[in-house]
Amino acid sequence: MSLRDLQLANAGRRFEKVQQEGLEVKARKDWHFKLFKNPPENMSAIAQAGARKAEMPIPKLIALGIMGGVYVGFGAAVAATVAGGLDPAWVARFPGIQKLIAGFLFPIALVFILIVGGELFTGNVMYMVVGILAGTVKVWRALVVLFISLVTNYLGTVIVAGLSVHYAEYMMTEPWKSYLAHLGDAKVKPGFGVLILKGIPANMLVNLAILMAYAAEDVTGKILSMYLSISTFAVTGFEHLIANEAYFHFMFFNAPHASLPYGLWLWKNFIAVLIGNTIGAAALGIVYWFVYLDNTIPARAKWITTWNCCCPPKPKANNGAASPKPGLKRPPTSGVASPQTFSLDPENN
């Protein structure tokens, strides 16, 4: 098979795949090497991923949610081990070195989740919001997915912290004890509103990493794209709910009689960061759905995205002619096809 034949065959397979997904995307040139998805294709993939998550059986969702929390615990553990083990004199001389190292190591958590599989509450917020707006996910199913992933992520971080710190006596000596205690105090010191504001950009960056990883078509591209975004949030000190759960439980199992009560963490950090992370993920999902997928919203709610929501425009007269079906014909399989919108409904192509 020649290179040209291989390219045409790949283009045909891509068309058949997106045709089954039932969403509108931008047609690619048939000779184009698919190194990454363009933004409309990527958002279509996110909407369909949200539908798959919503349809997943509850036991599988629970298992993947626990594994998601476990992988975040692994990422937090390696970041705390290296960053917390630095010489205090060196840290005092170079204050940003701890955050830089932690930011470089923590992203392995999301690499594990996206490559081998896992459910993360902070990412599922964006999946569910996009799925609801695109009409692929029902609201009640989205709430079930979010509740299960929130609880199971919590259990996963507790499992890692309990087994590694409490039973294996991991990070039970200095300088890690002081590092974890200082980290816990720093995360409850800001006000409630400040923590909400720090949670918004954190989860926007996490979901940006998910979007870029979905756009990449190879594992190397996925890992590099995730590192760019996750490192940014980790180094800047923004607040991520599941990561905080791992760090706090490391501290609690390390020093159960510390001056930081469990209830104070739940109120000052958990709830505030939960609100901020939810806002950040929802905002990112709404923006990119509106830009690339607003044509998939059910017709009964189309008025939301128009300026004529109060006075919808009257349908145009067609002089008795039959209304044409929406969508364009299937793009040709030879020659250079200019990018165009086509319907993925088989009846319309």
Compare 33 and 219 and report the one with higher pLDDT: 219
At 261-309, the pLDDT tens digits run 778 888 888 999 999 999 999 999 999 999 988 765 553 344 444 444 4
Helix spans in the chain (H):
3-21, 39-55, 58-84, 88-93, 97-105, 108-116, 121-134, 139-161, 176-188, 192-215, 219-236, 241-254, 262-265, 272-292
Which band of pLDDT confidence, cut at 50, 70 and 90, is reported for residue 335? Answer: very low
Cβ atoms of 129 and 47 within 8 Å: the answer is no
Peptide bond into 190 cis (omega under 30): no
Nearest partner of 119 among 210, 35, 2, judged by Cα:
210
* Pairing state between β 341-342 and 25-26: antiparallel
What is the DSSP code string of 31-95? T---SB--HHHHHHHHHHHHHHHHHS-HHHHHHHHHHHHHHHHHHHHHHHHHHHTS-HHHHHHST
At 132-143, the pLDDT tens digits run 998 889 999 999
pLDDT of residue 173: 74
pTM over 0.85? The answer is no
Cβ atoms of 327 and 17 within 8 Å: the answer is no
Q: Which helix (H) or strand (E) holds 25?
A: strand 25-26
Report the alpha-carbon distance of residue 69 to residue 242 in Å, rounded.
7
Compare 50 and 337 and report the one with higher pLDDT: 50
Instruction: Enumerate the domain spans of the chain.
Output: 42-301
Residue 38: φ, ψ to 5°: -75, 165
Query: Of the segments 5-9, 98-102, 300-304, 332-336, which one has the largest average pLDDT value?
Result: 98-102
342 three-class SS: strand
Q: What average pLDDT does the structure give for the chain?
A: 78
Which band of pLDDT confidence, cut at 50, 70 and 90, is reported for residue 197? Answer: very high
Residue 309: φ, ψ to 5°: -65, -30
Report the alpha-carbon distance of residue 127 to residue 50 in Å, rounded.
5
- With a cut of 70, say whether residue 113 has pLDDT above it: yes
Class of domain 42-301: mainly alpha
pLDDT of residue 319: 54
Cβ atoms of 281 and 200 within 8 Å: the answer is no
pLDDT of residue 175: 81
Which band of pLDDT confidence, cut at 50, 70 and 90, is reported for residue 257? Answer: low
170 three-class SS: coil
Arithmetic mean of pLDDT, 318-342: 41
pLDDT of residue 51: 93
Residue type, position 119, single letter = E
